Amino acid sequence: MIRMECIPVGFLDVNCYLVWAEGEESALVIDPGAEPAKVDAALAAHALRPAAILLTHGHVDHIGAVGALAGKHGIPVWLHPAELPLYRSPANALPPWVPAARDLPEPAAAVPIVPGLAFSVLETPGHTRGGVCYYFADSAALFTGDTLFAGSVGRTDLHCGDADALQRSIREKLLVLPAATRVFPGHGGSTTVGTEAAENPYLIKAP
Ligand SMILES: [Zn+2]
Ligand SMILES: [Zn+2]
């Protein structure tokens, strides 16, 4: 069973998640969007060592602390290759609140492996072209970034968004998971696959 901690960071309250296996000290850091000192403090509070950074997508509010954390700890970063143009773009900013991220390292070619943590990468384009969700099947936990929220779905009116692709991704990759799967989104509170399948008003019901 994985353990985790949610750390809301930055002006847009991105949920940065620490994920680790019980009894292990290596942790994954998902979407360190801002406030690297706050993320470091949470790691220290659990006596964890960061092993790798996983990004659900490349929007600036999710990557702002990547440079600081990867630089300090010398750890790899992974995001879907289709996100690279967005990840590297100087226009990937939200003026005047969130400037473009600095000192971003070159992402790793392969998904990092961390002791005790088995997960799969679900490709869920729509919010962005290379958006992914991270699924820890053994622990029935799903990290959805800005693809799926409690009672909502990600915007598709931003850079490279595609509303049809987002609906397909959610229906074909996420709603097929066990109903009890816990969903940990990139913003806001957690939910379950079953709750969203039954109640999310933004999901078009299959005929
Ligand atoms: Zn986003
Ligand atoms: Zn976001």
Is 51 inside any structural domain? yes
Is the residue at 179 inside a domain?
yes
Q: Give residue 206's pLDDT.
A: 60
Q: What is the mean pLDDT of residues 14-42?
A: 97
Q: What is the pLDDT of residues 127-136, one digit of tens each?
A: 999 999 999 9
The β-bridge relationship of strands 148-149 and 141-145 is unpaired
pLDDT band at 97 (very low <50, low <70, confident <90, very high): confident
Average the pLDDT over 47-74 and give the result.
Answer: 98
24 found inside a domain: yes
pLDDT score of 101: 94
Q: How much is the pLDDT for 204?
A: 73
Q: What is the CATH number of the domain that holds 33?
A: 3.60.15.10
| Domain coverage including residue 107 | 2-199
Residue 206 lies in a domain: no
Element (H, E) at 69: helix 66-73
Tell me what the mean pLDDT of segment 147-175 comes to: 94
CA of 61 to the centre of ligand 2 (A): 6
23 C-alpha to ligand 1 centroid (Å): 33
Residue 164 within any structural domain of the chain: yes
Q: What is the domain count for the chain?
A: 1
Q: pLDDT grade, residue 160 (50/70/90)?
A: confident
Residue 184 lies in a domain: yes
CA distances from 172 to 121, 123, 124, 135, 197 (A): 14, 10, 9, 14, 12
Q: What is the mean pLDDT of the chain?
A: 96
Q: Which residue has the tokens 């390292």?
A: 105
pLDDT at 82: 97
3-class SS letters over 175-201: CCCCCCCEEEECCCCCEEHHHHHHHCC
Ligand with smallest separation from the Cα of 185: 2
Q: Ligand 2 mean position to 171 CA, how many Å? A: 20
Average pLDDT over residues 64-84: 98
Whole-number pLDDT of residue 40: 98
Its pTM surpasses 0.85? yes
* Tens digit of each residue's pLDDT (9 = 90 or more) over 77-88: 999 999 999 999
Domain-embedded: residue 113: yes
Q: How many angstroms is it from 70 CA to the middle of ligand 1?
A: 21
Above 70 in pLDDT, residue 207?
A: no
Confirm whether 207 is domain-assigned: no
